[in-house]
Structure 1
Amino acid sequence: MGRRTATRRPRATALVGAALLTNVAVAGCAWFGDDGTNATQVLDLAVGDCVVTPDDVQAELTDVTTVACDAPHQMEVYALVPDALDGPEAHPGVDALAAFADGVCAERFAGYVGVDYRDSDLFLTYLLPSARGWSEGDTTVTCLVTTTGEQLIASVAGSGR
C-alpha cells in the first residue's frame, strides 16, 4: 500500500490546505458507478482525469472519484512527474517534495491550461508520495488544477483560464 500527501498551493503564496494523506491500494484499477462516476485509485490517475473531491474530509482514502470532464468536478490532473527529485532511495521529506512540486507543477501549468500560472484564475494542487509509498517505489508527483470553490464543468485543457 502506498500513500500520497495532497497539498494545495495558490499562486505564489504560502500553503493553503492542510496535508491530506491518501491511502493508495496497489491492486485493481477503477470501477464504474451507475451515476457516471469512477472510483479510481490514486496511483492510476492519468493526465486529463477530472476529480470530484470527497464530501467528507478524511485523513485516508483508498481512491478518488473521477468523472467525465463535462460533469461537475473540482480538480483535473494536468501533469504526472515521475522520479521526483531523481528518486533518491530515502524519502526526501514533505518540505523538499512540496518545494519541488511547487516549481514543477507551476512550470507545467501553461503547457496544459494554455496560460501562465501567474496569469490564471485557477490554482494548482498536487499529490506527493508519502514515505511509505516512496519506499514502495512511488516517486511520482501528480499535479492538479483546481478553483477556489466553484465547480468546473469542462476540461481546462487549452482553456487559457
Structure 2
Amino acid sequence: MRTRGPVARAAAVGLLGASVVVLVGGCSLFGQDDETDGVSVFDVEAGQCFRVPEEITVELTELPAVPCTEPHEQEAYARVTYTDPATGTTPDTFPGADALTTFADGACAEQFQDYVGVDYRDSSLYFTYLVPSPRGWEQNADRDALCFVTTTGSQLSQSVAGTGW
C-alpha cells in the first residue's frame, strides 16, 4: 500500500503521511522493540493501534501494532473500498495515485466522525491513510484505503473511539 496524508490536514505527518521511496519488507525494519507485532496491511482492522515506524516509507507491507493502552500515535478506524466516482464501480486497472488520494481524503473524512464522535474539523486529532500501490493493486487485488486517526507528536494511551476528541 502507498502512504498518503489528507490535504486538509497536511500538517499531520505521522505513520503514513510522508513521501520517501523505500520498500519495507517486514517488521524488523521498523526499529521497534519486541513489544510491537507486525500486522500485514491487508489484515488491519478498525480499533487496532500502531506505533510510527522509525523509517517512513511510501510502500508498506506491515505496521507495528501495539495494544491501544500502550503509547501509540495511530489508530485504524476504517477500511473503505475504492470506487470510481464516474461509474460507481471498482476498476480492475490501477486508477492512479491522484484518484486514490482524492478518494481517501473524502472517504476517511466521512468515516472520522462515526468513529471518534466529532467531525475531524472540530477534533484535536487528525487523520491520514494508506492507499493501494500500483503493485499492490495488480498483485494483491488491493482496492482499500485504510484510514487512521493520528496526532501531531504526542502519543495516545487509549483508544480514541467515541471520545469526541
Structure 1 and Structure 2 fold alike (TM over 0.5): yes
> How big is the shift at 1:80?
0.4
Matches within 5 A, 1:17-96: 17-19=17-19, 35-58=34-57, 60-85=59-84, 86-96=89-99
Task: Confirm or deny that 1:146 pairs with 2:145.
Answer: no
Which amino acid in structure 1 is aligned with residue 159 of structure 2?
A: S
* 3-state SS of 2:3 partner: strand
Offset from partner CA, 1:2-27 (integer Å, 9 cap, x none):
xx1111226x25586433568587xx
Instruction: String of CA shifts for 1:92-150, please: whole Å, max 9, x gaps.
Output: 11111100100010000000000011100111100000111111311011000101111
Residue in 1 that maps onto 2:28: none
| RMSD of aligned alpha carbons | 2.4
1:105 aligns with 2:108: yes
Identity of matched residues, %: 47
Distance 1:14 1:145, change over 3 A: closer
In structure 2, the CA distance between the partners of 1:65 and 1:45, relative to structure 1 (3 Å rule), is same
Equivalent residue, structure 2, for 1:125: 128
Task: State the alpha-carbon separation in 2 of the partners of residues 103 and 23 from structure 1.
Answer: 27
Moved beyond 6 Å, runs of 4+: none
How many residue pairs align between the two structures? Answer: 150
* Structure 2 CA distance for aligned equivalents of residues 24 and 44 of structure 1: 16
Q: Provide the TM-score with structure 2 as the length reference.
A: 0.80
Structure 1 stretch displaced more, 99-108 or 54-63:
54-63
Structure 1 residues 41 and 18: CA distance shift in structure 2, 3 A: same
CA distance in structure 1 between the aligned counterparts of 2:62 and 2:22, rounded to whole angstroms: 8
- SS in structure 1 of the partner of residue 78 of structure 2: strand
Residues 23 and 142 (structure 1 numbering): CA distance in 2 closer, same or farther, change over 3 Å? farther
Q: How far, CA to CA, are the matches of 1:59 and 1:107 in structure 2?
A: 24
Distance between the aligned counterparts of 1:115 and 1:22, measured in 2? 35
Change (3 A) 1:13 1:35: closer
Superposition TM-score, scaled by structure 1 size = 0.82
Q: Decide whether aligned partners of structure 1 residues 114 and 8 sit closer, same or farther in structure 2, where only a CA change above 3 A counts.
A: same
